[in-house]
């Protein structure tokens, strides 16, 4: 642990933010997993689940939680899975 007061504060803030980011990233993964499962199971709510997941991915990228290229890749894979399930 640091000795300087401001350094101690920075350590505490970093821990708090890391915990918050971990929770947000976990929630994002949950949305993506639900959308992927709905798309592969040909569920009637698949389009809505994918729409919500894409919205959450965009929000995460805008906040800097994930990189913009990662967001684009994840959205592309979700759209591809949804289109594959619709065409069958």
Q: If the chain, 88 residues long, is cut into consecutive pieces of 10 residues, what is the mean pLDDT of each piece?
A: 89 97 98 95 91 98 97 97 86
pLDDT at 1: 67
- How many residues make up the chain in this entry? 88
pLDDT at 7: 94
Q: Which residues are CB-neighbours of 32 under 8 A, at least 6 positions away?
A: 53, 56, 57, 74, 78
User: Residue for token digits 């199971």?
Assistant: 41
Radius of gyration for the chain, computed over Cα atoms and rounded to the nearest angstrom: 18
What predicted TM-score, i.e. pTM, was given to this entire model? 0.87
pLDDT at 48: 95
pLDDT at 57: 98
């Amino acid at each position: 642990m640091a000795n300087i007061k401001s350094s101690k504060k920075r350590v505490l803030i970093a821990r708090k933010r890391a915990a918050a980011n971990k929770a947000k990233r976990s929630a994002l993964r949950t949305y993506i997993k639900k959308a992927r499962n709905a798309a592969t199971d040909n569920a009637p709510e698949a389009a809505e689940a994918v729409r919500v997941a894409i919205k959450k991915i965009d929000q995460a990228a805008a906040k800097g939680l994930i990189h913009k290229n990662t967001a684009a890749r994840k959205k592309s894979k979700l759209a591809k899975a949804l289109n594959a399930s619709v065409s069958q």
